[in-house]
Amino acid sequence: MKKTVLLIFLLFSLIISLKAWRVYSLARHAKRLKISVAKFKILSISLSPESNIVLSVSNYSSTPFSISQLQINIYSSKGILLASQNTPLATSFVAKANSNTPLPLSFTIDAQNIISALKDIGGLTSLAANYLTTGSYGLPITLKGFVVIANYQIPIDESLTV
């Protein structure tokens, strides 16, 4: 009787430890998932309330991820909301191992906050000079939100310059 209880306990412990190892390895590999802005044009915004911004999901892991949900908000460097995602993902997608996946999403733009963020970096002349010399606008932003991978929610907090 003691042997069967011990065997059941060991089997149960093995199953729990395998599940814990999968969760640990998923969390470790998910840290290699980076979200960035692939295409963002200031001139295409033109003070309209909605704009398409192409995000890039970069998977630097050797594990492909099936992403079922993604929620991103774009903030200025001072923490002011610049854009919020309109609709959730229509379908899940797979971020292949060691690759970039472009993801066009629709965002609600707060034009007044974008104009004030542009004034903070030096106005339109600084914006035009940055764009002509480096090909980017020089606008520091922060992407905040979460991504759901295999029923695990992973927070996103990426600071970058577009």
pLDDT band, very low/low/confident/very high, at 56 (cuts 50, 70, 90): confident
pLDDT band, very low/low/confident/very high, at 59 (cuts 50, 70, 90): confident
CA distance 14 to 2: 18
Is 70 exceeded by the pLDDT of residue 120?
yes
Q: What stretch of H or E contains 114?
A: helix 111-120
- The 10s digit of each residue's pLDDT in 69-107 is 889 998 988 888 988 888 888 788 888 888 888 888 888
- The 10s digit of each residue's pLDDT in 30-40 is 777 888 887 77
pLDDT band, very low/low/confident/very high, at 131 (cuts 50, 70, 90): confident
pLDDT band, very low/low/confident/very high, at 57 (cuts 50, 70, 90): confident
Angle between helices 111-120 and 123-134 (to 10 degrees): 80
The confidence score (pLDDT) of residue 61 equals 83
The confidence score (pLDDT) of residue 119 equals 83
Compute the mean pLDDT over every residue in the chain, rounded to the nearest whole number.
82
Q: CA angle 152-71-81, nearest 5°?
A: 135
Is 60 exceeded by the pLDDT of residue 45?
no
Instruction: Measure Cα distances from 116 to 8, 12, 119, 120 in Å.
Output: 64, 58, 5, 6
Structural domain boundaries of the chain? 31-161
The confidence score (pLDDT) of residue 44 equals 52
Return the CATH fold of 31-161: Immunoglobulin-like (2.60.40)
